[in-house]
Amino acid sequence: MDHFHYRDGELWCEGVPLARIAAEVGTPVYVYSANAFRDHARAFRAGLADVRDAHLAYAIKANPNVAVLRLLAAEGYGADVVSGGELARALAAGMPAESVVFSGVGKTEAELVRGLDAGIGQFNLELEEEGEALARLAAERGETARAVLRVNPDVDAGTHAKISTGRKENKFGVPIDQAPAMFARLAGLPGLALEGVAIHIGSQLFDLAPLEAAYRRVGELVATLRAAGHRITRVDLGGGLGVRYKEGDAPRSPAEYGAMVDRVTRAWDVTLMFEPGRVIAANAGVLLTRVIWVKPGVVNPYVIVDAAMNDLARPALYDAWHDFDPVVPSGERVTANIAGPVCETGDTFAMAREIDRVAKGDLAVFRSAGAYGATMASTYNSRALVPEVLVDGERFAVVADRIAAETILAAERVPEWL
């Protein structure tokens, strides 16, 4: 069920009209549906129902709001974190440390120590030296860190180049052909319990074939490692499942994904970790915005909205498409460009898009903005940091305040020698 739906001619999120949120909180504002998050979390879990010993670590970077994390913790999700800051969020949300996976190609030693302090369940090693550092830090404390080695399977995920991570020239993981020798060196270190391997080949994947190819390579690697005498108990299959952003998008469902995973991994006899992000968060949120002006254009008019690339970076960063729907549809279709107020041509959400006619002062939403939305927001052009609202049935709450440009200015200093 779509929790963003029209009722009596206006757009609601669950049991709350979006116009009410705009009136009370102002715009731009992200609005999340708690029940959409729950539905997506349950659908992903249900897709893996046939997979023995599957653990779910939500990729926090997709949407790290602490209220969202609390909600997913209640659904039994752990966390995939990529920084000390994300680790702090997972713990603040009440996720058990045991359920936390620490990924990331540039973990500092201070961050490794934070992970050890917290007692997290799994470090994903991205290079040999990181494994040596983690082993040393853990051994100094008389502890053993549980880790897996992230390998780069060299498959083309067939997604946007900026969210592709599993080709050999990408910065992530160690080359899969070097993994056995590296594994042997690291597995012998005191302080380190190297339990298996991890991969993550990219994001917004529509086709299961590259994932399946990568998983099969991992299966071969597991067999090679076992033949060499290693005890392999854990494989992390990453995230990456795509979602619908526009009409005609046909992502594979969690059930189809789960059937593929079951088929490929059935004989592996390991604990499987999954790191879904976008598939949980993207369609659980919208960015609610107000039209400032409709500016006549040379070809098409520009609808200038009060949301901008600093609030939702995906169109500027990846040429991403977000549906633009009015809160109160006029029913009259027009072709327009949609842009924000930031002084960059890149601050354009859509060109020559067929939309419902909107006028100055109207409310509208960018759909599918729950993942990689608010988390990438900045204050560029000295704009406020965009707030977030969570709706649950007929209730809603501000779960992240708008941080005013003045507050950010107040954190800056002019040295006395100027």
Ligand X SMILES: *Cc1c(COP(=O)(O)O)cnc(C)c1O
Residue closest to ligand X, measured at CB? 277
The encoded tokens of residue 79 equal 């966390």
Residue number with CB closer to ligand X (33 or 165): 165
- Residues between 103 and 122 with contacts to ligand X, criterion CB under 6 A: 103
Site string for ligand X, 286-325 (x = CB under 6 A): ----------------------------------------
276 is known to lie in a ligand binding site: yes
- Residues between 234 and 273 with contacts to ligand X, criterion CB under 6 A: 238-241
200 binds ligand X (CB under 6 A): yes
Q: Which of 22, 54, 59, 179 binds ligand X (CB under 6 A)?
A: 59
Distance set, CA 357 to CA 3, 292, 294, 339, 363 (Å): 24, 14, 10, 15, 11
Known catalytic membership, residue 343: yes
Please tell me the count of residues contacting ligand X according to CB under 6 A. Answer: 16
164 binds ligand X (CB under 6 A): no
339 binds ligand X (CB under 6 A): no
DSSP one-letter string for 379-405: -GGGPPBPPEEEEETTEEEEEE--B-H
61 binds ligand X (CB under 6 A): yes
The encoded tokens of residue 30 equal 């992200």
**Which of 227, 298, 343, 414 is labelled catalytic?**
343
CA nearest neighbour of 166 among 198, 119, 207: 198
Shortest distance in whole angstroms from residue 54 CB to ligand X = 15
Who contacts 348 (Cβ-Cβ below 8 Å, separation ≥6)? 315, 316, 337, 338, 339, 340
Which range of residues in 20-28, 41-49, 66-74, 275-283 is near ligand X by CB under 6 A? Answer: 275-283
Q: Please check whether residue 273 is in contact with residue 297, taking contact to mean a CB–CB distance below 8 angstroms.
A: no
If you search the block for the tokens 């976008």, which residue do you land on?
278
The encoded tokens of residue 418 equal 């100027």
Q: Residue 192: is it exposed, middle or buried by C-beta count within 10 angstroms (0-12/13-18/19+)?
A: buried
DSSP one-letter string for 34-91: HHHHHHHHHHHHHHTTTSTTEEEEEEGGG---HHHHHHHHHTT-EEEESSHHHHHHHH
14 binds ligand X (CB under 6 A): no
78 binds ligand X (CB under 6 A): no
Residues in binding site for pyridoxal 5'-phosphate: 240, 275-278, 372
User: Which residues of the shown chain bind ligand X in the complex (CB under 6 A)?
Assistant: 59, 61-62, 80, 103, 200, 203, 238-241, 275-279
Q: Which residues are catalytic?
A: 343
Task: Indicate the annotated binding residues for substrate.
Answer: 278, 314, 318, 344, 372
